[in-house]
Amino acid sequence: MITFYFSPGSSSLATHIALNEVGAPFEARPLTLQKGTRTPDYLEVNPNGKVPALVVDGTVLTEVAATLFYLARAFPQAGLMPAGALGEAEAVSWMSFAASTLHPAVGQGPERVAEVWQIAEKKLAGKEWCVGGKYSIADIHLFRLYWRFKDRFGLKPDDHPSIQALHDRILQRPAVKKTLEDEAKISAAQ
């Protein structure tokens, strides 16, 4: 059994999508950001006080990229891991870019946000999916960030046609629809 600690709408959305994509049974433990992730009980799980956290057979996995990588490898039938060593490395490269460049740009100002999303657009241009021509954990990670920040920073579809098209394709996936509906219900109840 997997225990999933998350906060609706946060970075943990990517992990939540992947859990629903792979069909893994899990126990959901929703938290509120800041207050809920700073409780003594949660800090026992993740001393960094961030989400997501997956507890798998007593082992705690944190950070979006690690949780996505685990789910793709543990549930290969879902097809979320690109094929071969090079495909896996490309997925890790995209997820590292998301975590180390796209996400931190939020705190570096709107000009930097615009700059890094143009880099992402160039990386994705001409492709339907990030790696190997099929939906993967790299797409889930990229989607989550664009979904969260496009309106906040005025990222325009015309400036990011490849990313916007990926975003729109992913929004049509049943697991993504389910995840967004589930998280909206939790947010409304909190």
* Distance between CA atoms of residues 176 and 39, nearest Å: 29
Q: Which of 76, 102, 118 represents a domain boundary (last residue)? A: 76
Residue 120 near residue 97, CB atoms below 8 Å: yes
Neighbour-count burial of 58, counting CB atoms closer than 10 A to its CB (0-12 exposed, 13-18 middle, 19+ buried): exposed
Is there a cis peptide before residue 174, judged by omega within 30 degrees of 0?
A: no
Distance, in Å, from the CA atom of 7 to the CA atom of 34, rounded to the nearest integer, reads 10
Nearest Cα neighbor of 187 from 19, 10, 18 is 10
Residue 187 belongs to some domain of the structure: no
- Kindly report, residue by residue over 104-139, the tens digit of the pLDDT: 999 999 999 999 999 999 999 999 999 999 999 999
For residues 168 and 91, state if they share a domain. Answer: yes
Domain enclosing residue 158, as ranges: 82-174
In tens, the pLDDT along 147-174 reads 999 999 999 999 999 999 999 999 999 9
Residue 96 shares a structural domain with residue 127: yes
Q: What is the pTM of this model?
A: 0.96
88 and 61 in a common domain: no
How far is the C-alpha of 156 from the C-alpha of 158, rounded, in Å?
A: 5
Domain boundary among 59, 76, 93: 76
Supply the DSSP string of 70-136, one letter for each residue. HHHHH-GGG--SPSHHHHHHHHHHHHHHIIIIITGGGGG-HHHHHHHHHHHHHHHTT-SSSSTTS--
Q: Are residues 71 and 87 in the same domain?
A: no
- pLDDT for res 16: 98
Q: How confident is the model at residue 188 (pLDDT cuts 50, 70, 90)?
A: confident
Same domain, 106 and 161: yes
Mean pLDDT of the chain: 95
Average pLDDT over residues 96-104: 96
6 and 46 housed in the same domain: yes
182: in domain: no
CATH code assigned at 123: 1.20.1050.10
Query: Which pLDDT belongs to residue 35?
Result: 79
- End position of a domain, from candidates 26, 53, 76: 76
Q: Which two tokens stand for residue 166?
A: 């990926």
Same domain, 6 and 72: yes
* Tally of structural domains, the chain: 2
The tens digit of pLDDT for each residue in 132-149 reads: 999 999 999 999 999 999
| pLDDT computed for residue 12 by the predictor | 96
pLDDT at 39: 92
If you write DSSP's letter for every residue of 37-58 in order, what string do you get?
Answer: GGSHHHHHH-TT--S-EEEETT
For residue 8, the Cα-to-chain-centroid distance in whole angstroms is 12
Whether 80 and 136 have beta carbons less than 8 Å apart is answered as: yes
Percent of all residues in the chain with a pLDDT value above 90, rounded to a whole number: 93
Query: pLDDT tens for residues 33-62?
Result: 877 889 999 999 999 999 999 999 999 999
